Amino acid sequence: MKLSFLLSTLCFTAFAASKNVVNLEGLGQKMSEDMASSHEERDVHILDSEGAQGEGIEQVRFKFDESDVHSNVLESILPQLPSIKVFAGYIRDNKDIAASTADKNANLIIIAPTDNSLATKLDGLKPWEFPEKCTDGASQEEVIRKNLLNFVSGHVVPDLTQVTSAHCSGFTARLLNGKEIRVKQMHNDKIEIFFEGKPITVENAKRVDNGYLFVIDDVLVKP
């Protein structure tokens, strides 16, 4: 069953004025209350023109299968997907990002490359082998740590309460490494991530209490 949400983190207002960053803090609790009251409803309204700030309101509506909406956190859902086992390990080993995935008050997107993409999209390298070359010596462990941070940072939107722009069919957000992605749900309900001019289809999408997990058979950081 498809559920259509005006999502607390994916429902953004577009200001008619020059201001283009929207703060949605505090909407997550209302989302949980509405879902609990009528999980069978197709439309769960979170933000309408009366509850939003500013004028010229546009709302972003994303549809999820009911089976892809979970009452837990990213920390719990990441290990449950065998196709992203390697990347889930990278997240778990990063102290700061791992803490965010466990925080019920966080509001983030994890864009997780599949194990297959890690094996086929990196020119034969591992994520910890670039951009800095690993050499023997006392600094090797530090190089590996920096390389992994570089890779993981390119696949995390750390805070969805602020976006750089929003429109009726999607939104633009900034990754932890400073680069931007555009996220849009197409007419066939598939979610597409547009990165550096290239569309990447989301193979699997999960909504949890503290954000979203988008699985892609590609990578956003390459050698």
Identify the band that residue 12 occupies on the pLDDT scale cut at 50, 70 and 90.
Answer: very low
Cβ(215)–Cβ(82) below 8 Å: no
Q: Which tokens sit at 139? A: 């600094």
Q: Is the pLDDT of residue 208 over 70?
A: yes
How does pLDDT run across 71-107, given as a tens digit for each residue?
Answer: 999 999 999 999 999 999 999 999 999 999 999 999 9
Identify the band that residue 134 occupies on the pLDDT scale cut at 50, 70 and 90.
Answer: confident
Residue with the larger pLDDT of the pair 70 and 33 = 70
Q: Is the pLDDT of residue 13 over 50?
A: no
Average pLDDT over residues 168-195: 90
Q: Which strands, in side-by-side order, build the sheet including 191-195?
A: 156-157, 108-113, 211-216, 198-208, 191-195, 180-185, 170-174, 165-167
| Among the listed residues 184, 190, 189, the one whose alpha carbon sits nearest the alpha carbon of residue 165 | 184
User: What domains can be seen in the chain, in order of their start residue?
Assistant: 2-216 (2.30.180.10)
